[in-house]
Amino acid sequence: MQKPLSPLRRSAPSSTTRRSLLTGMLAAGALIASRSFAAADVAQNIIDITGRSVSIRQPVRRILLGDGTLAYALALLRPEDPFNGVVAWGDNFRAADLDGYRAYQQRFPQIDQIPRFSGKTVDSIGGEQAIALRPHVVVLNMSSMTAAVTSGLLPLLKQAGIPVLFVDFRTRMFANAVRSMQILGELFGREERAAHFLRFRQQQIERVTLPLKSVTKRPLVMVERAAGLYDDCCLTYGDGNFGELVAVAGGENLGTRLLQGTFGTLSQEKVIESDPDVVLVTGANWSLYSPGGDWVNLGPGADPREGRARLQRLMQRPAYRTLRAVREKQVYAIWHPFYDNPYYFIALQRVAKWLHPELFSSLDPEATFRELHERFLPVPYQPGYWLSLNEAII
């Protein structure tokens, strides 16, 4: 199995020596990049999600994914060989969704040979390392842009002549997912396939948004992000990401009421005082992050009995055990990777049906997700992406 890339280590050279080494590496990287592009005679300008016009030499054969979860988007666009040409990626595809990674590993065993950046942020991608991998393009999440600038990664890549594209499936998932898929479609010459997927996505979103136009009552929802992964409680979402998803699904997100920004933390006392109508936690197979954690294992093939037992234990924490939502079993768990993933509209359908079961009695999120796999993805669908504390509710 390919070992994760680790930060470069060196005995402490003088600043002059270090500058000389770095200058030489940048020059070599730029020369290698120019040689690798020599056979390509087509330059394409792509407007990324931040509005930057980025010149890309086509065809792109070597891609560095700064965030491993961008693998979900590649699988949609290139199902026949989604990770061909990926020279490195963040380890969070594997570490943050081990069951999902294994599903793709079974279909494409060569992904174990792709080098991994072991850190959880873009800061862990050393500029020198990235240049040495000779990517034709680096793709990063928009949420990493500040870190990419302050860590020096973006300036180093620019100096080496390596283009960087930003996409966003995380911060403003509804506003930015369409353009982000179009960007990747343009990058890989899969514009038509991206458009086909986006039409399907829009149809599935409208199955929720159109019926909700007549709804006036919105349940108050407490969303705990990565429940059980950390000792403290309660990580949550503000007005972006899952907070935005809850609002589109016909709920009122507690974090939006109390926080500024996309992510934040609520005290246990504030959760108790707010007495939400519904509690929703996110989970996945995080055994590589926290083997002994009480997180809810969700993902392809996850055991609902084990997950429900863990959810029950999580609801015994002080923030939740006295809540009306817990007594009435209005408690749910959903696959965490929906939060930075083009498939988030599946979560939209599932949350909407939990919040408004009568309105969406005929909506079947499981069937929608199965259809998505059959039409667009190279791996078979397996249930296990969500559960309820109430066994009678699927």
pLDDT tens digits along 259-308: 988 899 999 999 999 999 999 999 999 999 999 889 999 999 999 999 99
Q: What is the pLDDT of residues 204-220, one digit of tens each?
A: 999 999 999 999 999 99
* pLDDT for the residue 394: 66
Could you tell me the pLDDT band of residue 119, with boundaries at 50, 70 and 90? Answer: low
Could you tell me the pLDDT band of residue 35, with boundaries at 50, 70 and 90? Answer: very low
Could you tell me the pLDDT band of residue 40, with boundaries at 50, 70 and 90? Answer: very low
C-beta neighbour count of 11 within 10 angstroms: 4
**30 or 334, which is more confident?**
334
Task: Say yes or no to pLDDT of 16 above 60.
Answer: no
* pLDDT for the residue 41: 58
* pLDDT for the residue 120: 54
User: What average pLDDT score do residues 159-179 get?
Assistant: 93
* pLDDT for the residue 12: 37
Please, what is the end-to-end C-alpha distance for the chain in angstroms? 37
Backbone phi, psi, residue 235, to 5°: -65, 140
CA dihedral 366, 369, 373, 376 (to 10 degrees): 150
CB 262 within 8 A of CB 171: yes
Tokens of 11: 């005995």
Q: How far apart are CA 317 and CA 320, in angstroms?
A: 6
* pLDDT for the residue 123: 56
Tokens of 241: 């990401």
Task: Say yes or no to pLDDT of 169 above 60.
Answer: yes
Could you tell me the pLDDT band of residue 33, with boundaries at 50, 70 and 90? Answer: very low
* pLDDT for the residue 6: 43
What sign results for the dihedral spanned by CA atoms 300, 303, 307, 308? positive
Mean pLDDT over the full length of the chain: 88
Q: What is the pLDDT of residues 326-362, one digit of tens each?
A: 999 999 999 999 999 999 999 999 999 999 999 999 9
> With pLDDT > 90 as the criterion, what percentage of the chain qualifies?
75
pTM of the model: 0.88
* pLDDT for the residue 28: 43
Pairing of strands 53-58, 42-47: antiparallel
**Alpha helices, DSSP H, located in the chain:** 15-36, 71-77, 92-96, 98-107, 127-132, 145-150, 153-159, 173-188, 191-209, 242-248, 254-258, 268-274, 304-314, 324-327, 344-355, 365-376
* pLDDT for the residue 147: 85
Of 71-75, 87-91, 193-197, which gets the smallest average pLDDT?
Answer: 87-91
* List of domains in the chain: 21-201 (3.40.50.1980), 211-388 (3.40.50.1980)
> With pLDDT > 70 as the criterion, what percentage of the chain qualifies?
88
Q: How far apart are CA 224 and CA 99, in angstroms?
A: 21
User: What average pLDDT score do residues 149-154 get?
Assistant: 87
User: What average pLDDT score do residues 95-102 get?
Assistant: 95
